[in-house]
Amino acid sequence: MRLDDSDDDPLLEVRASPIQGRGVFARRPIPAGQRIIEYTGEVISDEEADHRYDRVMERHATYLFGLADGTCIDGAAGGNEAHLINHSCDPSCEAVEVDGRIWIDAIRHIAAGEELTYDYAYERDEGDEARADFYGCRCGAGGCRGTILAPPSTSAPRCGSPP
């Protein structure tokens, strides 16, 4: 679900991203504080998420978003373009959970043509530091921490956020 959108003047567009693969871009200015889009997809258990994505990958690549109740939203299964919003260490948006739904909100003004991003802040597990390339960040922000993992002092829901 997109807010403040119409078929005549869409708010967002998907196109090639300098960060990673495809990204989501603003077609017109978005003010700070605006709720932009809901992150949709199939709601699954943590166990099902492990089953779907527990395979050998060169880089971390899933579209899972962890919810407070321990379930996950799999944006690759019936999701919308929100699952293509890329990570940045200096994000323009944040993900907010409200009543078991994830919304992407602007945390600052976003210019027309600018890519929407948020900090994935994946939960850190033992051994993750040794796999820095697996969780590498390509955001290019001045304060880039080099990883999509949460800073060591924070924690995210088990499933993490989508890549």
Report which of 45, 37, 133 is spatially closest to residue 85, judged by C-alpha positions.
37
CATH classification for the domain delimited by 12-131, as one of 2.170.270.10, 3.40.50.1780, 3.40.605.10, 3.40.50.720: 2.170.270.10
Q: What is the pTM for the complete model shown? A: 0.83
pLDDT of residue 4: 52
pLDDT tens by residue, the chain, 163 residues: 445 555 667 999 999 999 989 999 999 999 999 999 999 999 999 888 888 876 555 555 678 898 999 999 999 899 999 999 999 999 999 999 999 999 999 999 999 999 999 998 887 777 666 666 678 888 999 989 888 888 876 555 555 544 4
For residue 123, the SS3 value is coil
**Domain residue spans in the chain?**
12-131
